[in-house]
Structure 1
Amino acid sequence: MGKSRTDFIDKTKEILLKRRDALRKALAGDLSMLKELEQTAGDVVDFALDSAQDELSSQLAEVESRELAQIDKALERIRGGSFGECEGCTCKIPTARLQALPYATLCIKCQRELEELGEDGVSWRQNSEDQVSI
């Protein structure tokens, strides 16, 4: 591995660690805010506003949790020496892609192929062509 690639991985590791710490703090704050909202009671309008805020906070916490898991996986790949290697085809993921999305596990080609496939592994295009109109 070239020195510039090693330097890039070291810098990326620092960025991921800082982002992980920030997400953990934000997630802890979101969860404590949700608990506070549960403990307060008010009139129907207050309840509706609290419910909307609760839903928004819950969705935000879910997104933050997902990103945190992706960061942890990227840090594990750094420790294991496979960071920047595509899980689909094992080629090197371009540095520009990793700069934009440090926890990317697929190169652009493999990511596109994955997105074309549905959850059942059937291409969305193929699936839509197979459907018959009545």
Structure 2
Amino acid sequence: MARQDALLRLHKSLITRRTELRKRLGLELEELAHVKHSSASGDAADAAFDASGEEISSTLAELEAKELAQIERALRRLKAGTYGKCEVCSIKIPVARLNALPFSTFCVDCQREMERDGGWSADYGANGWDRITDGDPMGEREVRISDLESDLSK
């Protein structure tokens, strides 16, 4: 029963964090839109400072959006009854790990294996290219700039 209580607490914390992230993302996106539409004034240093601020805000918003997606996925897993089970080996993820990282989908051993392999399963070959190509990604062919087509009219 202790695990069930812990999962209920984690559910509540996931909901709280989701709400917080939604608010923050809304404000950050609104702020970015406002900055882009505000009139440009000042010299090149001001423009560079504004651009770097926009870059930082955009990066933070991207990271928060990724966290929000992971939280949404964890909440879907809770509803489906699969939350707290490793997606690879199906063992129960320890509550201590879920407390530290509530949207964990792998046990520690499987997570280490994924990180060691660079996230690629052994089923896809040593370097992962077999998954998206017919084997050797470049073959014997040399690629030249003239081989690439690009539309620069846009």
TM over 0.5: yes
How far 1:4 moved relative to its partner? Answer: 1.1
Q: More helix per residue: 1 or 2? A: 1
Segments ≥4 residues shifted beyond 6 Å: none
The CA deviation at 1:118 is: 2.6
Letter in 2 for 1:12: L
1:50 aligns with 50
Partner of 2:60: 60
- Larger relative contact order (Cα-Cα within 8 Å, sequence gap ≥ 6): 1
Mark the runs of 5 or more structure 2 residues left unpaired by the alignment.
128-154
Query: Using a 3 Å threshold, how does the CA distance of structure 1 residues 120 and 107 change in structure 2: closer, same or farther?
Result: closer
Could you report, residue by residue, the CA deviation over 1:40-84 in whole angstroms, capped at 9, with x for unpaired residues? 211222211110010000000000000000000000111111110
Q: What RMSD over aligned residues (CA atoms) do the two structures have, in Å?
A: 1.3
| Alignment counterpart, residue 36 of structure 1, candidates 34, 55, 59 | 34
Equivalent position of 2:82 in the other structure: 82
Residue number in structure 1 paired with 2:6: 8
Point out where structure 1 has 5 or more consecutive residues left out of the alignment.
124-134
Count of paired positions:
121
Q: Given the two structures, how large is their TM-score scaled by the length of structure 1?
A: 0.86
Identity of aligned residues (%): 43
Taking a change above 3 Å as real, the CA distance of residues 32 and 117 of structure 1, as seen in their structure-2 partners, is: same
